[in-house]
Amino acid sequence: MRMTRADRGISAAAAQRLKPDRRFRRPGIRGKMCGMSAARSDPADGARRRRLATAFEAAFGGRPTHVARAPGRVNLIGEHVDYHGGPVLPQSLALDTRVAFRAVPADRVDLRTTAVGVEPAWQRYPDAMLAVLRERGVPVAGFEGVVDSALPIGAGLSSSAALLVAVGLALTSAAGEAVGAARLAELARDAEHRTGVASGAMDFVAALFGRVDGPIRIDCADGAIAPVPGPPPSHRWAVVSSGMRHELAASAYNARVAECRAALATLRDAGVTDADRLADVGADRLPTVARVLDDLGTRRVRHVVTECARVDTVVAALERGDVGAVGAALRASHRSLRDDYAVSVPAVDALVDAIGVIPGVAGVRMTGGGFGGSLVALVGAGTDDALAACVARHPGATLIDPAPGPAASVTPWVA
Ligand code: GAF
From the number of C-beta atoms within 10 Å of its C-beta (0-12, 13-18, 19+), residue 365 rates as buried
DSSP letter for 234, please: T
In the predicted model, what is the mean pLDDT of residues 321-349? Answer: 97
The binding-site residues of ligand 1, defined as CB within 6 angstroms of any ligand atom, are: 75, 79-80, 82-83, 158, 199-200, 202-203, 368-369
Q: What angle do CA 221, 328, 245 make, to 5 degrees?
A: 70
CATH ID of 235-400, from 3.40.50.12780, 2.40.50.100, 3.30.70.890, 3.30.2010.10: 3.30.70.890
- Between the CA of 91 and the centroid of ligand 1 the distance, in Å, is 14
In the predicted model, what is the mean pLDDT of residues 324-340? Answer: 98
Nearest-CA residue for atom 3 of ligand 1: 199
Note whether 402 and 155 are within 8 A (CB).
no
Q: Is the pLDDT of residue 40 over 70?
A: no
User: Same CATH fold, 235-400 and 2-229+404-412?
Assistant: no
Band of pLDDT at residue 19, cut at 50, 70 and 90: very low
State residue 245's pLDDT score.
82
Band of pLDDT at residue 37, cut at 50, 70 and 90: very low
Least confident of 7-16, 252-261, 345-354: 7-16
Nearest-CA residue for atom 7 of ligand 1: 80
- Between the CA of 120 and the centroid of ligand 1 the distance, in Å, is 23
- Between the CA of 203 and the centroid of ligand 1 the distance, in Å, is 7
pLDDT tens, position by position, 368-400: 999 999 999 999 999 999 999 999 999 999 999
Is 203 considered catalytic here? yes
In the predicted model, what is the mean pLDDT of residues 252-258? Answer: 95
CA distances from 142 to 9, 94, 124, 264 (A): 5, 30, 19, 45
Options 110, 203, 219, 340, the catalytic residue: 203
Please state, in angstroms and rounded to a whole number, the distance separating the CA atoms of residues 192 and 169. Answer: 15
Nearest-CA residue for atom 2 of ligand 1: 199
The pTM of the full predicted model, rounded to 2 decimals, is 0.90
Q: Round the average pLDDT of the chain to a whole number and report it.
A: 89
> For 170-231, where are the E strands, in sequence order?
216-219, 225-227
- Between the CA of 10 and the centroid of ligand 1 the distance, in Å, is 35
Q: Is the pLDDT of residue 112 over 80?
A: yes
Nearest-CA residue for atom 9 of ligand 1: 369
pLDDT tens, position by position, 159-205: 999 999 999 999 999 999 889 999 999 999 999 999 999 999 999 99
Pocket test for ligand 1, best of 73, 77, 80, 208 (most atoms within 8 A of CB): 80
Note whether 314 and 329 are within 8 A (CB).
yes
Domain 2-229+404-412 has CATH 3.30.230.10: yes
Atom of ligand 1 nearest to the CA of 200: 5
**Nearest by Cα to 82 from 221, 270, 177, 183:** 221
Least confident of 15-29, 69-83, 240-254, 352-366: 15-29
Q: Is the pLDDT of residue 344 over 70?
A: yes
CA distances from 335 to 80, 283, 303 (A): 14, 17, 9
State residue 42's pLDDT score.
60
Please state, in angstroms and rounded to a whole number, the distance separating the CA atoms of residues 272 and 288. Answer: 9
- Domain coordinates in residue numbering, the chain: 2-229+404-412, 235-400
State residue 43's pLDDT score.
58
